[in-house]
With several copies, the nearest count.
Chain A
């Protein structure tokens, strides 16, 4: 790696106004990026510019503001679809977030296509948004959800997965990167095997799209779900990529304006892709801000983002494992995991740890991380989690380490 290619973290940090904030009088050390990420000035400015210069309803009005808003909204769709390597913008549906995306697939695809006796394959490391929708479909349809188990190091048991798909499941729904263990799954292979077994595949990209180069055309998945707020974009917006042939065969999800071609008292016909799945006024500002975030990330370069996080992770794994009483979960090799570090510290409860760290300006997450089945597997009620992004520095890791040692001291360990 050439030094000149390296990321200039200080330069990146300068783009994020919140990083100047003091918390309890201390420098903010924001390590809760798997929950949500901070926004660069350019994204905030994009929202301000929209609302103060060309706010209008998209698709509906032929006046200048309306045309500008529509052009920016559709421009954002192109940007975001290119960002994840979708083959065409009409395959990219704007939704509220990852959860809305998996539920769209649940209502508009699974409720129609999952039959009594079918199986839906998912894993023990999924976020609730990639579990609960399938439990509900399975219950309604008389199907069964199968959970692929994990190896000790938090990687998927691929043999269990292969057993599971031998039963020709209707759907295989897997995360590309665990929000607790950091485990990166080989979703290209998983999707290939799923397709060979006749299953439709869905990849939860909530923790991958923000942190590593993603190319859907190479992953070969049928559906891919992700959230803007986890990749420097606004809240309330995300995207579902869907393979065109599948989307075309699906009924709409929500009904209302924009998703129709014609409405009569006797019934309605549906609009073309992607509008068929976008009922009502969209989160126009959100989508435009999402595009701006994708542009910002592309300018840094997703390779660099990934490389920086791997470096942070290596540094963190090495240094934090030296802290007394630390149990770190997930794969040991930083190359095989995302920048998410879950752990427990001796008998300090994660919530107490979060409070103690907060006092020092350090924001981590504590709890079940919306992954209770994984907590059961780990046999802990909760974990602490530090998660990195491209604006985090080695100093942030050092601060965390000091905070952990301080907590140990307080708890008398």
Chain B
């Protein structure tokens, strides 16, 4: 699908009506990613319950593609095991966006949210691992 189409069909809806936009009071994991070239900036925060994403929010500013893809990603992640991010791939994100034709610069916009989510989730999993293994040391 051409990028003009994608703007029309999916992205603009999320850009106009962001889902899960905002901040959490209490978080189990969070991360911020920026793209210095274009000034895109997203932060993802989440809480965890039973090893699954509980509440999940994003905030930030930037182009429609970065903001919409992050918003969609929070919807996708909600309720899933935190471990699931290990399998999350670029291709999943592209599919979620409807496989638009994006040049390399815009691909970075599309993947910014995924980067933030991964960093946040790995951070959470790492700290969990330390906690669980803390008694050994």
Contact = CB atoms under 8 A, between A and B. Distances in A.
Interface of A: 24, 59-62, 64, 66-67, 70-71, 260-262, 271, 348-352, 355-356, 358-359, 366-368, 375, 381-382, 410-412
Contacts of B2: 24, 359
B102 to A, nearest CB: 8
A285 to B, nearest CB: 19
Given A356-B4, A410-B8, 12 more contacts: A61-B105, A62-B103, A62-B105, A70-B104, A271-B36, A351-B105, A351-B106, A352-B65, A355-B106, A356-B3, A366-B38, A367-B39
Given A66-B105, A67-B103, A359 B36 contact: no
B75 to A, nearest CB: 21
A59 B38 CA distance: 11
A32 B62 CA distance: 21
30 contacts: A24-B2, A60-B37, A62-B38, A70-B105, A71-B104, A260-B36, A261-B36, A348-B64, A349-B64, A350-B63, A351-B105, A351-B106, A352-B63, A352-B65, A355-B103, A355-B106, A356-B4, A356-B7, A358-B103, A367-B37, A368-B39, A381-B41, A381-B61, A381-B62, A382-B39, A410-B7, A410-B8, A411-B7, A411-B12, A412-B16
A59 B104 contact: no
A406 to B, nearest CB: 8
A382 B38 contact: yes
A358 B36 CA distance: 21
A116 B8 CA distance: 57
A63 to B, nearest CB: 8
A62 B37 CA distance: 10
Contacts of A356: 3-4, 7
Nearest to B100: A355
A71 to B, nearest CB: 6
Contacts of A382: 38-39
Interface residues of B, number: 23
B120 interface: no
Interface string B25-46: 0000000000011111100000
A69 to B, nearest CB: 11
Contacts of B104: 67, 70-71
Contacts of B12: 410-412
B131 to A, nearest CB: 31
Nearest to B41: A381
A70 B106 CA distance: 13
Contact of B105 (A24, A67, A260, A262): A67
A67, A70, A71 pick with most chain B CB within 10 angstroms: A67
A240 B65 CA distance: 36
A59 B37 CA distance: 8
A375 B38 CA distance: 12
Contact of B38 (A70, A351, A412): A351
A143 B26 CA distance: 45
A314 to B, nearest CB: 30
A64, A349, A358 pick with most chain B CB within 10 angstroms: A349
